[in-house]
């Protein structure tokens, strides 16, 4: 169980968001998940004990309903980089969320987003680094 119970809003309950939300909830954190498609919440684990909100996260009213302003952290994991950027900016600069992380698919956008003060996580960059490590390790050991 988590020492410090955090309040986390996860926006986008797809492959990444549902996993993150389920794990955070299981670890004892208070989690609110937002998705435009209510069917997406079916991907949450059975032990998920947080709240779900159906709505377009690009609408400020939806983020307000999720009480983003009271959250310790927001994770923006919708399928669109631009929506994730907008959501993290609104969360911090308009609603007063303490911190926010955006999933960014396009590595070329990562630097720009960081210049705007947005914390990012790019699956493509992470996968490339991991693949590089594995290939060079296999090379050191003399075969894959």
Q: Which residues bind ligand AMP (CB under 6 A)?
A: 12-17, 34-37, 40, 56-58, 77-80, 83
User: Closest residue (Cβ) to ligand AMP?
Assistant: 14
For residue 15, give Cα distances in angstroms to 19, 21, 52, 63, 112.
7, 11, 16, 21, 25
Which residue, 28 or 55, is less far from ligand AMP as judged by CB?
55
- Kindly tell me which of 17 and 50 has the beta carbon lying closer to ligand AMP: 17
> In 3D, which of 9, 52, 71, 80 has the Cα closest to residue 43?
52
Quote the distance between the C-alpha of residue 14 and its chain's center. Answer: 10
CA 40 to chain centre: 15
The least distance separating ligand AMP from the CB of residue 93, rounded to whole angstroms, comes to 18
Which residue lies nearer to ligand AMP by CB, 28 or 89?
A: 89
* Least distance to ligand AMP, CB of residue 125, Å: 17
């Amino acid at each position: 169980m988590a020492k410090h119970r955090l309040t986390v809003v996860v926006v986008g309950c797809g492959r990444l968001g549902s996993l993150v939300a389920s794990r955070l909830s299981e670890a004892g954190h208070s989690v609110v998940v937002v998705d435009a498609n209510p069917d997406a919440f079916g991907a949450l684990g059975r032990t998920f004990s947080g709240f779900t909100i159906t709505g377009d996260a690009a609408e400020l009213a939806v983020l307000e309903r999720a009480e983003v302003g009271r959250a310790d952290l927001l994770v923006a994991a919708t399928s669109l980089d631009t929506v994730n950027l907008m959501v993290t900016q609104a969360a911090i600069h308009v609603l007063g969320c303490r911190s926010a992380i955006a999933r960014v698919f396009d590595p070329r956008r990562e630097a720009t987003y960081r210049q705007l003060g947005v914390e990012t996580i790019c699956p493509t960059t992470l996968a490339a680094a991991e693949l590089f490590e594995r290939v060079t390790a296999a090379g050191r050991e003399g075969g894959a």
